[in-house]
Structure 1
Amino acid sequence: MKRTGLYIALSTVLFSLMEITLKSTGGAFNPIQINWIRFTIGGIVLLPFAIHSLRMSNSMIHLADLKLFALTGLMCLVVSMTLFQLAITYDKASTVAVVFCSNPVFALIFSNLILKERLGRANLISVVVSLIGLLIIVNPTHLTNPLGLTLSISSALTFGLYSIISRYGSLRRGFDGITMTCFTFLIGSVELMVIMFITKIPAVATAMNHVSWLKQFSAIPFFNNVTPQYFWLLFFVGVGVTGGGFAFYFMAMELSDVSTSSLVFFIKPALAPIFAALLLSEDVLPTTIVGILVIIAGSFVAFLGNKKRQRV
């Protein structure tokens, strides 16, 4: 139990520092470039764990599995994480961190729509309460940054959809979470690399430069600013946050259960704004604090409901 608590604590701290660390790059990296770097490193860090898991379960990766990883990589890295990185660019790290933690709410909704899994009473209450918390943080009557907020919610929504696609694939193929995540990262990084090469085609780059909001996607660099100045930041984002954070999360899950390990996402909404205030001097509004507490309450209801269902 001590090891489980340690893994949960490490994963929570690393995930809570994710938005703050990415924000601290100060625009030195293109949004897709930083995603490609950190998920490539993260996938390589997770690879030994995934190989060990495949050997323990006497499983192999087949061509059909690569198609599955291509789909999850597309949804996670290309869509959700690109929106996430853009949200960090346009909004406060603390806001993005809290809104992104609502992704389990969207996952519950998609599990009902796609997998036909019944929403229990506790999960239904959790969805309603968490959405109320989001509305408190968003405060539609005083919306000052609609773009950043839209990107944050879109990232959380698409990550929730990715989670269900990954869960569906995992059930069909028999892979555990760490294997699914590792190969999603690696295949998704290849997809990002292909997109980056396409943006370097002169005709494509020129066309993008003529559209204001597409300029930042024109001729996306691979190693621009990958210098000693940013070495430790990239090391921490790739090895620590992306690789280590997920590794500790899945090791906690293996030693306990999904409900216990999901405490990571219940604690992060409270911890991330504190880190943002301390490290980035971001202001935390009273409404944001109230919204955080409401989201934590909603998540805790789901946690208790899942624990009760597992006992039954």
Structure 2
Amino acid sequence: MRKTVGYISFSTLMFSLMEIALKMAGGAFDPIQLNLIRFAVGGLVLLPIALNSLKKQQRKLNWKDLRLFGITGFICVIISMTLYQLAIVYSPAATVAVLFSCNPVFALIFSYLILHERLGRANLISVVVSVIGLLVIVNPAHLTNVVGLTLGVTSALTFGLYSIISRYGSQKRDLNGIVMTCFTFLTGTVELLAIVLLTHVSAIGRSMGQVSYLKQFVNIPVFENISWQYLPLLFFIGVCVTGGGFAFYFLAMETSDVSTASLVFFIKPALAPVLAALILSEQITLPTIIGIVIILMGSVITFIGNRSKSIRSEMGQPVYPEKEDQTDSNDLIGKVESFNSSVEDED
């Protein structure tokens, strides 16, 4: 139990410091460059753990696995995390942290739409409550930062999509979370590097330069400003936050269960704004505070619902009692009708 608490505490702290560290590094590095560096380092940190896990499974990766990593890497690293990194540029770190923490809500919606998984009552309530919290923070009637908020919400939405595809793929290919995450990071890094190198091609650069919103992506740097001066910050972002945060999150999952480990994402919306105010001197507005409280309520509802399902599953009880009761009733009615039919035949 002590190990689990330690894993969750470290992972929560690292994930809560993520936006703050990236905001601090934003002045020295290009957003896409920073995205490339942190996932390359994070993937390499997770690699020994992932390889050890594969060795225990006596499992070797094949082309179908790499194809899956190509899809998850593209959605996670290139789309979601690029949007996330840009959101940090245009918005306060605390706001991005809260918005991104809503990605489990979008994951629930995608699990229903794509995997046709049944949403329990607690999950439905959590989705509604969390959306209300998001609307309070975004405040559609008085939008002042449309670009930043759009990037933050879209990042959370696409990360929720990545989570569902990753979970479906891992079950289909028999790969655990640490392996999926590690090779998603590494494959996504290779894909992002290929795109970055394409921006250095003269013809492509000229074409991008003619489009106003693409000018900033011409000649994206790869190694610029990587010096001893910024090495401690890059080490913290790559090794501690990205690699260490995910590693300890999965260790918590191994020593407890998914619902307990998910406390990391439930605590982050409350802790990250406080840390941003202390470290970056960011002001937390009243609507943001109210929105955070509402989202935390939604998170608590989700945690209670997941915990309840986990306990019922461990005890061999139906995950959705109301559905099971209905099934039992239908079975009983069927048996009665069958019995009456047999009596009528005898007569």
Q: TM-score, normalised by structure 1?
A: 0.99
Output the aligned Cα RMSD. Answer: 0.7
Task: Give the deviation of 1:230 after TM superposition.
Answer: 0.8
SS in 2 for 1:27: coil
What does residue 270 of structure 2 align with? Answer: 270
What does residue 292 of structure 2 align with? Answer: 292
Say whether the 8 Å CA contact 1:129–1:298 is kept in structure 2.
Answer: yes
What does residue 198 of structure 1 align with? Answer: 198
What does residue 135 of structure 1 align with? Answer: 135
What does residue 331 of structure 2 align with? Answer: none
Residues 122-131 or 53-62, more deviating? 53-62
Task: Give the deviation of 1:54 after TM superposition.
Answer: 0.6
SS in 1 for 2:27: coil
Please tell me whether residue 170 in structure 1 is matched to residue 173 in structure 2: no
Structure 2 CA distance for aligned equivalents of residues 26 and 134 of structure 1: 25
Say whether the 8 Å CA contact 1:30–1:216 is kept in structure 2.
Answer: no
Amino acid aligned to 2:42: G
Task: Give the deviation of 1:58 after TM superposition.
Answer: 1.4
Structure 2 CA distance for aligned equivalents of residues 80 and 39 of structure 1: 13
Amino acid aligned to 2:48: P
Structure 2: where are the runs of 5+ without partners?
313-347
Q: Give deviations 1:261-282, integer Å, cap 9, x for gaps.
A: 0000000000000111011110
What does residue 260 of structure 1 align with? Answer: 260
Q: Give deviations 1:229-288, integer Å, cap 9, x for gaps.
A: 111110000000000000000000000011000000000000000111011110000111
Residues 11-20 or 55-64, more deviating? 55-64
Q: Give deviations 1:57-97, integer Å, cap 9, x for gaps.
A: 11110111000000000000000000000000111110000
Structure 2 CA distance for aligned equivalents of residues 231 and 285 of structure 1: 34
Amino acid aligned to 2:220: I
Structure 2 CA distance for aligned equivalents of residues 237 and 100 of structure 1: 17
Task: Give the deviation of 1:27 after TM superposition.
Answer: 2.8
What does residue 152 of structure 1 align with? Answer: 152
Q: Give deviations 1:110-149, integer Å, cap 9, x for gaps.
A: 0011111100000000000000000111111121101100
Task: Give the deviation of 1:28 after TM superposition.
Answer: 1.8
What does residue 309 of structure 1 align with? Answer: 309
Structure 1 CA distance for aligned equivalents of residues 31 and 213 of structure 2: 13
Amino acid aligned to 2:121: R
RCO (CA 8 Å, sep 6+): is it higher in 1 or 2?
A: 1
Structure 1 CA distance for aligned equivalents of residues 49 and 216 of structure 2: 35
Please tell me whether residue 69 in structure 1 is matched to residue 72 in structure 2: no
SS in 2 for 1:229: coil
Structure 2 CA distance for aligned equivalents of residues 211 and 29 of structure 1: 22
Say whether the 8 Å CA contact 1:80–1:158 is kept in structure 2.
Answer: yes
Say whether the 8 Å CA contact 1:27–1:89 is kept in structure 2.
Answer: no
Please tell me whether residue 47 in structure 1 is matched to residue 47 in structure 2: yes
SS in 1 for 2:229: helix
Runs (4 or more) in structure 1 with deviation over 6 Å come to none
What does residue 102 of structure 2 align with? Answer: 102
Percent identity over the alignment?
63
Task: Give the deviation of 1:227 after TM superposition.
Answer: 1.0
Structure 1 CA distance for aligned equivalents of residues 268 and 136 of structure 2: 18
Residues 182-191 or 206-215, more deviating? 206-215
Structure 1 CA distance for aligned equivalents of residues 194 and 220 of structure 2: 11
What does residue 234 of structure 1 align with? Answer: 234
* Structure label with greater radius of gyration: 2
What does residue 9 of structure 1 align with? Answer: 9
Structure 2 CA distance for aligned equivalents of residues 204 and 93 of structure 1: 33
Task: Give the deviation of 1:311 after TM superposition.
Answer: 1.2
Amino acid aligned to 2:11: S
Task: Give the deviation of 1:212 after TM superposition.
Answer: 2.1
Say whether the 8 Å CA contact 1:49–1:178 is kept in structure 2.
Answer: yes
Task: Give the deviation of 1:25 after TM superposition.
Answer: 1.7
Distance 1:58-1:171 versus aligned 2 partners, 3 A rule: same
Residues 182-191 or 136-145, more deviating? 136-145
Distance 1:210-1:27 versus aligned 2 partners, 3 A rule: farther
What does residue 344 of structure 2 align with? Answer: none
Task: Give the deviation of 1:26 after TM superposition.
Answer: 3.8
